[in-house]
Amino acid sequence: MSQNLPHVLPALPPQVEEGFAVHQTTKQFYHEVQTRLEFQHYCEWYAKTAAQNRQDLEKMRGEVNILRWFRRP
pLDDT in tens, 27-61: 999 999 999 999 999 999 999 999 999 999 999 88
- Residues making up the chain, counted from first to last: 73
Q: Could you give the CA distance from residue 58 to residue 62 in angstroms, rounded to a whole number?
A: 6
* Residues whose CB falls within 8 Å of the CB of residue 20, separated by 6 or more in sequence, listed in order: 12
> Which phi and psi angles does 12 have, rounded to 5°?
-90, 145
Q: Could you give the CA distance from residue 25 to residue 7 in angstroms, rounded to a whole number?
A: 27
Q: Could you give the CA distance from residue 54 to residue 56 in angstroms, rounded to a whole number?
A: 5
Q: Compute the mean pLDDT over every residue in the chain, rounded to the nearest whole number.
A: 87
pTM: 0.62
